[in-house]
């Protein structure tokens, strides 16, 4: 079989718009690990399609062999990244489909896996749209032209739809609210500078790019009326793991009396973890800091600490915008109610 997964290679943006074609599960694993595809929901969607590529060579297997193969592929893809729970959530769905299979042929089971991957993709698109609507309702009181700061990239590049945090900004713009978006560059890999600006400019949103270290100054000047970010994993008490630097932004927002919101679909909720302390934090290569984008910016032998994510405590979060509505205030009880609420 010659199925393939075509991804926009995000490591090449904004300088080049290049497609990356994955024809096997190993190349999908690499694409996720190298951040060619990134952002919690997009990682889950890519992994689900990766499972479909992985079973292409198992079309003659009997049911037990097919299921073993799917388990192995899922175990393998689960090692590509650590923090975004959407990866494991999507792989669990794929695994479940394989284990529900009975009768028919391996070809038919593979078709069911593809249908599940497409459903994960389509549902995410829908969830992004709902998050946009709920978030724009929440921020409806902000004056037209209000300053909204975001960190990292929680847009179309990171999801199957219009994004989570950015979907809210797009919806505000559609409603004529003209948000002015302050984009943190997001060290060390510059997802804000490279990706969020690229998306927002294409959609005609007014933006200003700042270095991460400028956020406090910009807030003190009165330029930011709200902060909205995405999430990689949300614990049962409402603590949120997101791109490194998010905790700092939330702390700054608190210090300046600015509401800090998180936008995320239910697939980002990990109700099994009591608090954010239990969220595994991916550590990435020192070269991302010492040799960012191929150029030495520090002595090669220097000791480096490079956690890719941090955890923002629930008490700093004014609300979590989900596809089911806004979780507000953020407490263990409201998170449990979110988890229990049926899809809209």
Q: What is the number of H-type helices and E-type strands within the chain?
A: 12, 13
**Least distance (Å) between residue 315 CB and ligand MRU:** 20
- Residue 41 binding ligand MRU, by CB under 6 A: yes
Q: Where are the beta strands (DSSP E) in 134-179?
A: 147-150
Query: Of 80 and 225, which has the nearer Cβ to ligand MRU?
Result: 80
- Answer for which of 158, 181, 190, 236 binds ligand MRU (CB under 6 A) is 158
Would you say 27 or 268 has its CB closer to ligand MRU?
A: 268
CB 121 within 8 A of CB 161: no
Q: Pick one of 179, 230, 245, 325: the residue that binds ligand MRU (CB under 6 A).
A: 230
325 contacts ligand MRU (rule: CB under 6 A): no
| Residue 38 lies near ligand MRU (rule: CB under 6 A) | yes
For 206, left (φ over 0), alpha (ψ -120 to 50), or beta? beta
> In angstroms, rounded to a whole number, what is the distance separating the alpha carbons of residues 145 and 206?
9
Residue 224 touching ligand MRU (CB under 6 A)? no
Give residue 166's Cα distance to chain centre.
Answer: 11
End-to-end CA distance of the chain: 38
Binding region for ligand MRU (CB under 6 A) out of 22-30, 70-78, 114-122, 153-161: 153-161
Identify any residues that bridge with 327 across adjacent strands, giving them in sequence order.
320
At CA 76, angle to CA 187 and CA 275, rounded to 5? 55
232 classed as catalytic: yes
In the bound state, the residue with its beta carbon closest to ligand MRU is 230
User: Which residues here bind ligand MRU, judged by CB under 6 A?
Assistant: 35, 38-41, 84, 152, 154, 158-159, 163-164, 191, 229-232, 242-243, 308
Query: Catalytic amino acids?
Result: 232
């Amino acid at each position: 079989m010659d199925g393939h997964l075509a991804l926009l290679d995000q490591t090449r943006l904004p300088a080049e718009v290049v497609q990356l074609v994955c024809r096997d599960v190993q190349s999908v694993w690499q694409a996720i690990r190298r951040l060619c595809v990134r952002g919690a929901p997009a990682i889950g969607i890519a992994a689900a399609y990766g499972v479909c590529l992985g079973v292409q060579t198992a079309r003659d297997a009997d049911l037990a062999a097919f299921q073993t193969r799917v388990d192995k592929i899922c175990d393998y893809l689960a090692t590509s990244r650590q923090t975004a729970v959407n990866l494991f959530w999507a792989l669990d769905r794929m695994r479940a489909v394989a284990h529900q299979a009975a009768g028919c042929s391996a070809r038919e089971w593979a078709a069911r896996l593809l249908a599940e991957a497409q459903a994960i993709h389509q549902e995410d698109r829908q969830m992004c749209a709902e998050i946009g609507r709920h978030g724009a309702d929440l921020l409806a009181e902000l004056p037209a032209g209000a300053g909204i700061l975001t960190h990292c990239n929680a847009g179309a590049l990171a999801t199957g739809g219009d994004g989570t945090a950015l979907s809210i900004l797009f919806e505000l713009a559609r409603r004529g609210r003209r948000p002015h978006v302050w984009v943190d560059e997001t060290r060390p890999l510059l997802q804000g500078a490279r990706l969020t600006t690229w998306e927002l400019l294409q959609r005609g949103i007014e933006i200003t790019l700042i270095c991460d270290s400028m956020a406090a100054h910009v807030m003190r000047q009165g330029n930011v009326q709200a902060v909205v970010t995405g999430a990689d994993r949300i614990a049962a008490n409402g603590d949120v793991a997101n791109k490194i630097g998010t905790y700092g932004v939330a702390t700054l927002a608190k210090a300046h009396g600015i509401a800090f919101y998180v936008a995320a679909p239910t697939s980002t909720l990990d109700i099994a973890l009591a608090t954010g302390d239990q969220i595994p934090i991916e550590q990435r290569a020192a070269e991302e800091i010492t040799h960012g984008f191929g150029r030495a910016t520090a002595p090669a032998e220097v000791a480096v600490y490079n956690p890719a994510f941090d955890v923002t405590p629930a008490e700093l979060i004014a609300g979590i915008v989900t596809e089911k509505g806004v979780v507000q205030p953020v407490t263990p009880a409201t998170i449990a109610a979110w988890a229990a609420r049926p899809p809209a």
